[in-house]
A and B are shown apart, each in its own frame.
Chain A
Amino acid sequence: MSIPLDSSSAKKMHAYHCANQCTWCDGCGDYGIWTAVKRSLVESGIAPHQVLLCYDVGCHGNTSDKLLGYRFHGLHGRVIPFAAGAKLANPKIPVLAFGGDGASFSEGVGHLVHGIRSNYPMTFVLYNNGNYGLTTGQASSLTQQGQPMNSSPNGIPEHTLNAMDFVFSLEPTFVARAWSGDIAMMTRVLKAAIAHRGFAFVDILQACPTYNYFATHEMLLERCYDANTEGHKPVDAAKARHLAMDTSKRIACGILYQCEDIPSFYERLEPRRGRRTTVAEEVEIVDTGKWERMFQ
């Protein structure tokens, strides 16, 4: 079986257009990310039938039927392993996984750890709105300590997880940050992420006008800046980590760190070395007679 890959149809964003109407709140960051994802795919020359877009559960998951492409909308917290399994089965298909901060830093935090550690050749986009939007505004582990939220009227007692410090501690090979109001920036980092050799972690700070009163569109607009145009080169992990963590005054965006020298998980699979087919193309009844000798 062969899966034809013809890029001739990838011309315009309209290819990803879907008749279903968007249902996000007015001013939601999801609109911008939705647009940037389509744009980055088109500009990367990827047609809808050539990609797999995997969505976690949350407001962002409602993107799953608002664009075309082969898509998957799974369980809360579990999008990374599903996407990784898909990618390993057919590494010829670009695989993007999307998850919120609740899914990625609470429910499925283990998957994020091992996704980065495994360096699967895939992109992970964090929809970071600092709360659980779809369940009506509970605190996530990225919500500011002390912030009153649904189910924590006195403010959350736990301290806030420093997402970037955590991610950099896992020795990632690609880390970028953007925010939902800057479509050009998001498109640029997403394209770089899609082209990256291993696991690309893209943190997109987004406005949640309904439940997030602390990191608003206005606040992000004011603080976010393109670190790359200001001269940051994404080559030094320690510098990048420092830059990413310090958001007290300004928030550095762009490609913060990238290392292409480290082979992806798939490239490290000894049994796959030198094979041109993917395991998705190798399904057939196999004569196992040759292995019976070891049991004689």
Chain B
Amino acid sequence: MFRVSLKVTGAQGQGVNSVGEMCAKGLKRAGYCLFGYREYMSLIKGGHSSFQLDVSDEQIESSETQVDILVCFNHHGLERNALEVKKGGVIIHQTPQWKFPYDVQKSLDDRGVTIVNLPSEEILQKIKAKPMLGNVLITSVVWSILGRSADDLKDLVREQFGHKGEKVLEMNFQCIHEGFDFVQGMKNEELRMKNAVQLPEPDVRWKDHLLITGSQAMGLGLLHAGCRMYCGYPMTPSSPLLSFIAEMQNETGMVIKQAEDEITAAQMMSGAMLMGTRAATGTSGGGFDLMTETLSLNAIIENPSVFVLAQRPGPATGLPTWTGQGDLLLAIGSAHGEFARCVVSVSDAQDCFDVMPDAFNIAEKYQTPVVVMTDKQIAEALYTQSSYDQKKAKLDRGLLVTDPKALKKLKSADRYDPAAKDGISPRWLPGAEAATYCAQGDEHSGDGSVDETAKNAVEQMEKRMKKMQAMEREMPEPTIFTMDSSSGKAVSCQLSAVSDIDLLVVSWGSNKGPILDVLKAESRKLKAIYLHYTYLWPMKTERLKRLMSKAKRTVLVECNHGGQLGQVIQLVGGPAIEDKILKYDGRPFFVDELCSKLIAHSS
């Protein structure tokens, strides 16, 4: 697989993201698949952040540890990231008279890395441009090195800044000319860099794709699902979802509430669901801890509810702007009492959209809480995504009664009827002309009257837990991905299509991207398949067991310390996966890093 990567580093607020995003947009339109990865610190200005863009003509959803082009807004990038540049790569920086320590310089020389000092300040002064335009200047240098045309970049700039007037636009264009002139006029020894970074042949299929973050995709997914209310409290990495749908509210008509705390957000969502709309709340681990009492409440009042849990590494504030998968056991085991719940996880921009209608359907069908897991990597990564299928999702509101005639026939005691099939009793809404009931947080009989008798306690517990069995029966097994070595693509397949394999990889969430990228790239060398868990609770292990018997080796891949998916599999009596690749440094798996680990584990 041919891939090129570009990493822009700098202090937060310097424009790292805007350079990255502009390059991403331009390259996607030119016919490339991109994957954008952000690293930043929990502060607003300063610090050290980066935006990495991996580019290919084929589908990619991962980053490399090594890059072809490194752009350094300030000297921190030169200090920290210089050795991440590949053989024959380029470093573009704007720190005058910069000198690497001897050993670093030697290593860069040995690898034939070209170092370019762009005198941004000088150029900007010469054309009397504001320092802010340095972003456009840098972008144009990168753009020129990638062999793209100045006109393409101008189109992008016009799109972004056109509303600011011709004068501003003209200044931007001048910066673009200066950037291109700079690359053209470089000294002889730097000339070789012009050929150092070559993009693969473009593929037109990417042109119509969307460039979208997981949070934006999830926002569209919520809208698609008919979610009409969202209540949240800001917390990375769930905040971008709140920001996105809040920004959209005037167009969508959604009720958006930034609540005073996570308890409020969860309670408001629950109240709104009881009233009959589709509402969601989102948070990260610490906020989810606060929401768990409400999760338990929704279980006993049998109220559909949707909680988005965007993971970052803990405990406590932990690594607030980094990624991890340490909250699976939290999602499954949190909140007091025993009750039926569903836990699902998204893995990329496709899932972020597809899973949301499903989450609401499950919540309404089983009248119980659903936790949708994501993580910082998915929430903030930039995906190249095909246009979404608007026909696939169906609205399933379960046993919601709205027909006036049917409403008239209801008795109060039908609401929590312990004899209901699969424990799922009819639900109807305040305002409906029918017998009324109490959504009762105390143990209750059919109509929601408090009933503490032993007989009733048993009946109602069993009623609610029957929903777990029904869910277990109806939830899909994990998805099998196999590599088609002729096309180099990952395709999902049935169990029966799998013959003997060398390596079975088992994982969930954002690891899917790098795992599939590795298996695709190594499909000739590595006879491997990937088993991906979207539905994590109720946990299903039958397919896993069958696959493990066909595989020489099985390896669990997770971004946590305990191998929590493996623990959950064993919790329900599934097989133990001894071989594990675990990572808990706040970073996602990088494709080259995971490749060498998987190869090591395959023999």
* A85→B228 contact, CB < 8 A: no
Residues of A within 8 A of B395 (CB): 283-285
* B433→A71 contact, CB < 8 A: no
B501 part of interface (Cβ distance < 8 Å): no
Residues of B within 8 A of A69 (CB): 436
B238 part of interface (Cβ distance < 8 Å): no
A245 part of interface (Cβ distance < 8 Å): no
Decide: A282 near B226, CB < 8 A? Known: A68-B436, A110-B261.
yes
Which chain A residues in 27-69 approach chain B with CB under 8 Å?
48-52, 54, 57, 62, 64-65, 68-69
- In the assembled complex, the CB of B402 is this many whole angstroms from the nearest CB of chain A, namely 5
Which chain A residues in 180-222 approach chain B with CB under 8 Å?
none
* B275→A89 contact, CB < 8 A: yes
Choose among B254, B263, B430, B447 the residue that contacts A86 (Cβ–Cβ < 8 A). B430
**Among A4, A48, A70, A275, residue most surrounded by chain B Cβ atoms (within 10 Å):** A70
Q: How far is the CA of A113 from the CA of B436 in the complex (A)?
A: 31
- Contact string against A for B residues 393-426, beta-carbon threshold 8 Å, 1 for contact and 0 otherwise: 1110100001010000000000000000000000
Choose among B216, B220, B255, B449 the residue that contacts A88 (Cβ–Cβ < 8 A). B255
A135 part of interface (Cβ distance < 8 Å): no
**Among B264, B297, B393, residue most surrounded by chain A Cβ atoms (within 10 Å):** B264
Q: Which of A76-84, A142-150, A228-236, A247-255 is the interface stretch?
A: A76-84
- In the assembled complex, the CB of B427 is this many whole angstroms from the nearest CB of chain A, namely 12
Interface residues on A, range: 35 or more
B86 part of interface (Cβ distance < 8 Å): no
A153 part of interface (Cβ distance < 8 Å): no
Residues of B within 8 A of A282 (CB): 226, 228, 253, 277
- In the assembled complex, the CB of A116 is this many whole angstroms from the nearest CB of chain B, namely 12
* B433→A74 contact, CB < 8 A: no
A261 part of interface (Cβ distance < 8 Å): no
* B267→A78 contact, CB < 8 A: yes
B603 part of interface (Cβ distance < 8 Å): no
Residues of B within 8 A of A72 (CB): 271, 274, 301, 438-439, 441
CB-based nearest A residue for B271: A85
Choose among B231, B252, B444 the residue that contacts A85 (Cβ–Cβ < 8 A). B231
A279 part of interface (Cβ distance < 8 Å): yes
CB-based nearest B residue for A278: B277
Q: How far is the CA of A4 from the CA of B430 in the complex (A)?
A: 10
A292 part of interface (Cβ distance < 8 Å): yes
Q: How far is the CA of A295 from the CA of B115 in the complex (A)?
A: 34
* A292→B210 contact, CB < 8 A: yes
* A48→B436 contact, CB < 8 A: yes
B272 part of interface (Cβ distance < 8 Å): yes
Q: How far is the CA of A74 from the CA of B393 in the complex (A)?
A: 33
B437 part of interface (Cβ distance < 8 Å): yes
Q: Which of A155-163, A165-173, A265-273 is the interface stretch?
A: A265-273
* A89→B224 contact, CB < 8 A: no
Q: How far is the CA of A278 from the CA of B253 in the complex (A)?
A: 10
Residues of A within 8 A of B393 (CB): 285
Decide: A71 near B267, CB < 8 A? Known: A269-B255, A285-B395, A289-B387.
no
* B431→A92 contact, CB < 8 A: yes
Decide: A283 near B226, CB < 8 A? Known: A78-B267, A82-B267, A84-B268.
yes
Residues of A within 8 A of B225 (CB): 285-286
B576 part of interface (Cβ distance < 8 Å): no
B310 part of interface (Cβ distance < 8 Å): no
Q: How far is the CA of A206 from the CA of B444 in the complex (A)?
A: 27
Choose among B29, B248, B270 the residue that contacts A82 (Cβ–Cβ < 8 A). B270
12 A–B contacts, CB within 8 A, in A order = A4-B404, A6-B433, A57-B441, A65-B448, A70-B429, A70-B439, A72-B441, A78-B293, A85-B279, A89-B255, A280-B275, A285-B394
Listed in ascending order, the chain B residues whose CB lies under 8 Å from chain A are 29, 208, 210-212, 216, 220, 223-226, 228-229, 231, 248-257, 259-261, 263-264, 267-279, 293-294, 297, 301, 357, 385, 387-388, 390, 393-395, 397, 402, 404, 429-434, 436-442, 444, 447-450
Listed in ascending order, the chain A residues whose CB lies under 8 Å from chain B are 1-6, 20, 48-52, 54, 57, 62, 64-65, 68-75, 78, 81-90, 92-93, 110-111, 113-114, 269-272, 275, 278-289, 291-292, 295-296
